[in-house]
C-alpha cells in the first residue's frame, strides 16, 4: 500500500490571503499551520501544496519572485519542524488553455507521477470551491476551510467537510485514519 497524501492549497489555507502575494516579506502563516503540517508529517502522510498562481500570467510577479516566496515558506515551516514533500504551481491565467489550473487535475497528476500515490486515497484542503472540485475530480476527500475565501463558499460547497482552518482539517483527518 502506498503512502497517503494531503493536498493543500496555499493562499488562504496555509498563508493569509494577500491578493496576489508578490513579496516574500508579506508571507504570513495562519496560526497553527506549521504545527498542523508537522502533525501530518508525524502521521506519515505526504504533504503536497497545489496552488494557482495566475499573478505570473497577469505580470504581477515572475517565477523567480515566486521561488523567493516559496523558499521563505519552506524556511518558515522548517523552523517549526514541518516539511512539505512537493509544491506544484499553475502559472496560467483563467482564460489560458492549460490542464493544471484548478479544478483541473494537472498539478495532482504531476504530484502523483513524482510521489507515486493514489489520489483516491488523498485528502484535499482549500479555501475555494475549485479546491473542493479538484479533490472530487481526483477522488480525494475534500475539505473547505473558513479562512481566506472560504466563508463565501460555505453555504453552497460540495465539500465533504467544512472546518475552521487547516489545523481543524488535520484533526478530522487524524480521526478518519483511526
**β strands within the chain, DSSP E:** 5-8, 46-52, 86-90, 123-126, 141-145, 161-163
Which one of the listed residues 9, 85, 127, 165 is annotated catalytic? 9
CA distance 52 to 112: 18
Is residue 109 part of the annotated active site? The answer reads no
Q: Which of 11, 85, 127, 165 is catalytic?
A: 11
How far does Cα 71 stand from its chain's mean position? 16
Instruction: Identify whether 165 is a catalytic site residue.
Output: no
Residues tagged active-site: 9, 11
Amino acid at each position: 500500500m502506498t503512502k497517503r497524501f494531503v493536498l493543500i492549497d496555499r493562499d488562504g489555507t496555509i498563508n493569509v490571503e494577500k491578493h496576489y502575494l508578490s513579496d516574500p516579506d508579506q508571507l504570513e502563516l495562519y496560526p497553527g499551520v506549521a504545527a498542523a503540517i508537522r502533525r501530518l508529517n508525524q502521521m506519515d502522510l505526504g504533504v503536497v501544496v497545489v496552488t494557482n498562481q495566475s499573478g505570473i500570467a497577469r505580470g504581477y510577479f515572475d517565477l523567480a519572485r515566486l521561488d523567493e516566496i516559496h523558499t521563505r515558506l519552506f524556511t518558515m515551516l522548517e523552523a517549526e519542524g514541518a516539511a512539505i514533500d512537493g509544491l506544484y504551481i499553475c502559472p496560467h491565467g483563467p482564460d489560458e488553455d492549460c490542464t493544471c489550473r484548478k479544478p483541473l487535475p494537472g498539478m495532482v497528476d504531476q504530484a502523483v507521477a513524482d510521489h507515486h500515490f493514489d489520489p483516491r486515497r488523498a485528502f484535499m484542503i482549500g479555501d475555494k470551491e475549485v479546491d473542493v472540485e479538484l479533490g472530487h475530480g481526483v477522488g480525494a476527500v475534500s475539505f473547505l476551510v473558513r479562512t481566506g475565501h472560504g466563508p463565501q463558499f460555505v453555504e453552497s460547497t460540495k465539500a465533504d467537510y467544512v472546518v475552521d482552518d487547516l489545523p481543524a482539517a488535520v484533526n478530522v483527518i487524524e480521526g478518519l485514519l483511526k
